[in-house]
Structure 1
Amino acid sequence: FIVSKVEDVDPATIDKTSDFEALGLDSMDRVQLLFDAEETFGVTFDNDEVKNFTCVGDIVDYINNNQPAEKPPEE
């Protein structure tokens, strides 16, 4: 999981309710986390919305709601 790349956290201990502060993520870690998520999932985070993100689930929900549609295969 991307969070474990940013901070030395056991992925098995992370779920949607995991709070960023409880995971030891500071503001720079959060920026890196969002950058990695954008690269991995092809989304662009809205700066106004990310200010309200407090837990992993906020990022997961945003990605699920804003992921680009898959392109149909070319024939």
Structure 2
Amino acid sequence: METAKKLVMTFKSEGDNVVNFTIDDPKDNLTEAEVISAMNLIVEKNIFSPGELDLVEAVKAKVVQTNTTEYDLKA
């Protein structure tokens, strides 16, 4: 079984669109304060403009872990 971890950050852009950014394998000791700070910096510095729309608000963040089991179908 393979375990994967991702940080999903959700923002609101102009026009009330929801935008998610996913970071694979975030560090284990990542703190809530670090995530909030990074998200606020992304909004303040206008680092990303998906679809030519500016991000206007950090909405939420979460760490998601998934377990994947692959089956060998050629056996």
Q: TM-score range by the shorter chain?
A: 0.3 to 0.5
Identify the structure with the greater helix proportion. 1
Greater Rg, structure 1 or structure 2?
A: 2
Q: TM-score, normalised by structure 2?
A: 0.34
Bigger relative CO (Cα 8 Å, ≥ 6 apart): 2
Higher strand share: 2
TM-score, structure 1 as length reference? 0.34
